[in-house]
Chain A
Amino acid sequence: MKKEIIFKLNDEMVSVTVDSDELLLDVLRDKFGLKSPKRSCGRGECGACSVLLNGKSVRSCIIFAVEVAGQEIITFEGLQKEGMTDLQKSFLEHNSFQCGFCTSGVTITATEFLQKNPKPTVKEIKEALAGNLCRCTGYSSIVDAIYDYTKKKGE
């Protein structure tokens, strides 16, 4: 069933016609050309498709697009409108990625988490990121980058 929805996407009001069973992930990628949320597990288990919904990280592969009518979505693209953020710089310096496929999802999750908890312990970082799967790095470079970023920010 077709529905027209209006929502805020990366600071801009947008409207789009979708089927009621169309996934937010597919709509963002195929109708808005926003390729940062990635298709991977399709079950909300890996975090590669993460976006911010009203400021909270969510899994766009298990959300119907109709659900976000009237809400606010920020994708990875929307986080860096003013260029590379300090968090991204830290990821770059720590090589917190290998293939890079999970990077946008990790960044989305870390962004929400650091807003909530700007001075986390390593353990808290690990807990927050436990739902973002990465097959390449073994995670330690990701955790280090986030921790180092918060240390530098605190200085």
Chain B
Amino acid sequence: MSTFDYKRPATIGEVVKLLDEYKTSAKLLLGGTDLNLMLTEDIIKADIVIDIKNIEGLDVLQIKDSNLIIGAGVTFSQIVDSPLMKEKFPVIWESSRTVASMGLRNRATITGNICSAVPSADSAPALLNRDAAVVAISSQGKREIPIEDFFTGPRKTSLLDNEMVMSIKVPEIHGKFGGSYIKMGRYRGEDLAQVGVATLATEDLNYKISYCAVGPRPLRVKEVEALLNGKEFQGELNQELKDIILRTVSPISDIRASKEYREKMCLVLLERSLKASLSRMKNGEPQYGKELL
């Protein structure tokens, strides 16, 4: 492992200064569950590692002006343990529970998860469905990046070299809704998603559908949403919808699953997720966190 300098700035101002100075040779460190491993295994190199997780205020997790603010330092455990998240952002909560294990969730952040931008990022589908925005800051100022524009490819985002993510902003939904995240791993224990799907259904039968691990980046399938909107989902996808989905997703074959299996699961999991979301919207069953596979 190449050695690097380590800095722990006290303020965001200091961070953006360092980023301007070091650009791509700087790496921002939050929980380190991904970054530290890549540094240790010599997969990436850095001149400087900027540890931002202890910056005051970055662990904010609260609603402000009808938006949930998830500070960059918020860990998955904070989300899992938060009654607010379970009540008002239950799919982000549900998907956070599927991330790795408690020992990693205590360290790993949802911001780190989206910034790593692996195709299987568990938090991405739920954030996509909630039209979240990523709040980034640099010496040029703050900007909000819609989550749909954030992922640009495997391990690639639209963040600039000198930007850091301050928070993720998620609009509140007023009115009844139900949602779900189903993750297919190789088994029930800790695993990366072979296919992950999150759906959301509102009282006026508006649907949101997003996937992870079925293409180079997490994606939302608005075409399917549009066709479903206004109708009560009957439990089975018709051929037209299936065709659209299979046209939209582009899974690969790797040692975790074949392309063909992932395609099949895109359909099976979506049906189950939509069913669960609708049912949760109506009567709250099956409860959030319950296994849906």
- Measured CB to CB, the residues of A under 8 A from B are 1, 3, 19-21, 23, 42-45, 47, 50, 53, 56-59, 62-64, 66-67, 69-70, 109, 112-113, 116, 128, 130-132
Contact = CB atoms under 8 A, between A and B. Distances in A.
A23 B103 contact: no
B3 A67 contact: no
A103 B81 CA distance: 26
Contact of A45 (B6, B188, B190): B190
B40 interface: yes
A43 B37 contact: yes
Residue picked from A21, A66, A70, A116, most chain B C-beta under 10 Å: A21
A62 B5 contact: no
Contact of A67 (B51, B101, B103): B51
Contacts of B81: 116
A20 B3 contact: yes
Interface size class of B (residues with CB under 8 A): 20 to 34
Contacts of B106: 53, 56-58, 112
Interface string B1-35: 11111101000000000000000000001001100
A75 B102 CA distance: 17
Contacts of A53: 106-107
B104 A59 contact: yes
Contact of B4 (A1, A44, A56): A1
Contacts of A59: 33, 103-104, 107
B6 A3 contact: yes
Contacts of A23: 40
Given A20-B6, A67-B51, A62 B102 contact: no
B273 to A, nearest CB: 21
B138 interface: no
Contacts of A113: 102
3 closest residue pairs by CB, A with B: A131-B101, A20-B6, A56-B106
A69 B8 contact: yes
A131 B103 contact: yes
A130 B190 contact: yes
Contacts of B188: 130
Contacts of A109: 102-103
Interface string B37-61: 1011000000001010010000000
Contacts of B49: 20, 64
Given A43-B37, A58-B103, 5 more contacts: A56-B107, A58-B106, A58-B107, A64-B36, A66-B8
B189 interface: yes
20 contacts: A1-B4, A1-B6, A19-B3, A21-B2, A42-B40, A44-B33, A44-B100, A50-B103, A58-B103, A62-B33, A62-B36, A63-B32, A63-B107, A66-B6, A67-B32, A67-B51, A130-B101, A130-B188, A131-B100, A131-B103
Nearest to A130: B189
A49 to B, nearest CB: 9
B95 interface: no
Given A1-B5, A1-B6, A45-B190, A63 B102 contact: no
A128 B4 contact: no
Nearest to B289: A127
A56 B106 CA distance: 6
B77 interface: yes
Contact of B103 (A3, A19, A44, A64): A44
Contacts of A66: 6, 8, 51
Contacts of A58: 103, 106-107
A47 to B, nearest CB: 6
A1 B3 contact: yes
A21 B188 CA distance: 33
Contacts of A47: 101, 103
